[in-house]
Amino acid sequence: MLLSGKRVADKIKADIIHAVEEYKKNGQAPKIAILRVGAREDDVAYEERVLKNCRATGIEAKVVEVDLNIDMQSFVDELNRLNEDTDIHGILIFRPLPEHLDMEEISKIIKPEKDIDCMSPVNVQKVFTGDSDGITPCTPEAVIEILKHYGYDLQGRNVAIVNRSMVLGKPLAMLFLAENATVTICHSKTRDLKEITKMADIAVTGIGKGKFFGPDYFSKDSIVIDVGINFAGGKLCGDVDFDKVSGQVSAISPVPGGVGTVTSMILLSHVIKAMKLQKK
Ligand code: NAP
């Protein structure tokens, strides 16, 4: 089975549109603020995708571009203005920030209930303590959403995650645990990786190496979620060699059109969640 991200994203999008309409009926307009330092090409491209999704869902957007050489205090002042602005419900800061801006300090300043990209240590802690009353990192949430959308009961499943970063592997392991799955986290020093991924019911790949995983990493019953984003020969591809693997496993998410598509929509769903948290 092809685990298309588009179908999942469309469902989330429909839910957001409905929520935005309800808020607007009550005179409230869900609004995101993007805080961007400088105009790096990939930041601007990402911003365009976010703004396109905002237009498609009715979420309002404000872009705050600050100078590449902005000092820490001025950046914090800018962030605090957004923190205190009651018309802004979600704040997105593009990362990585220039080195002279203290990322750790900034992540402590963003209001947790406006932190739609899960930077704040308060939200990170909630993921790790199993408190669902916070905002989770978008990509791990997208992985779980895809599996749930296609009807997989995660309870008792053996999951292998090949990634131990804070963006993906570690928080994702917590989300799977919250679903009562059994999780193995793998990384570049893992021995017998093939055996572990092959034994797992669900294998999540996120190593950033194009077409690294061939059919020998999986079994015919494997459910494969490919998070990797790579370019090979000018074309976007995942960590899994899709052409060789797709016919040999039970289900697989494609790249492009898989996790990334869902992640973008999850980000906007967090604006709605943030509004609910701010009301509390
Ligand atoms: P990262 O911090 O570089 O983490 C890569 C992980 O892969 C590390 O844990 C690393 O192990 C492990 N690894 C590397 N080579 C390996 C190998 N040969 N065997 C086993 N493990 C190996 O990268 P990241 O930020 O987490 O992102 C990972 C990938 O996901 C990238 O392709 C990125 O573009 C993609 N991504 C996609 C989305 C999306 O929405 N689809 C979002 C975020 C990231 P060590 O810890 O031992 O180094």
pLDDT by residue (tens digit) across 220-273? 999 999 999 999 888 999 999 999 999 999 999 999 999 999 999 999 999 999
| pLDDT computed for residue 279 by the predictor | 87
Return the residue matching tokens 């906007």.
268
- Quickly count: other Cβ atoms within 10 Å of residue 69's Cβ: 10
Identify whether the C-beta of residue 273 lies closer than 8 Å to the C-beta of residue 135: yes
**Residue 165 near ligand 1, beta carbon < 6 Å:** yes
Nearest to 138 by CA among 41, 246, 261, 247: 261
Rounded to 5 degrees, φ, ψ at 148 are -70, -40
Rounded to 5 degrees, φ, ψ at 248 are -110, 0
Mutational pocket test of ligand 1: of 138, 167, 255, 262, the residue with most ligand atoms within 8 Å of the beta carbon? 167
**Residue 207 near ligand 1, beta carbon < 6 Å:** yes
**Residue 2 near ligand 1, beta carbon < 6 Å:** no
Question: How many Å apart are CA 142 and CA 45, to the nearest integer?
Answer: 21
Q: Which residue numbers in the chain have pLDDT < 70?
A: none
Which residue has the CA at smallest separation from atom 16 of ligand 1? 188
**Residue 28 near ligand 1, beta carbon < 6 Å:** no
Which residue has the CA at smallest separation from atom 19 of ligand 1? 188
**Residue 257 near ligand 1, beta carbon < 6 Å:** no
| pLDDT computed for residue 234 by the predictor | 86
Identify whether the C-beta of residue 181 lies closer than 8 Å to the C-beta of residue 159: yes
Nearest-atom index, ligand 1, CA of 167: 26
**Residue 205 near ligand 1, beta carbon < 6 Å:** no
Mutational pocket test of ligand 1: of 187, 213, 237, 239, the residue with most ligand atoms within 8 Å of the beta carbon? 187
Nearest-atom index, ligand 1, CA of 164: 9
Return the residue matching tokens 């009715």.
58
Which residue has the CA at smallest separation from atom 48 of ligand 1? 188
Q: Supply the pTM of this predicted model.
A: 0.96
Question: How many Å apart are CA 230 and CA 15, to the nearest integer?
Answer: 30
Q: What's the full length of the chain, in residues?
A: 280
**Residue 208 near ligand 1, beta carbon < 6 Å:** yes
**208 Cα: distance to centroid of ligand 1 (angstroms):** 5
| pLDDT computed for residue 266 by the predictor | 98
**Residue 160 near ligand 1, beta carbon < 6 Å:** no
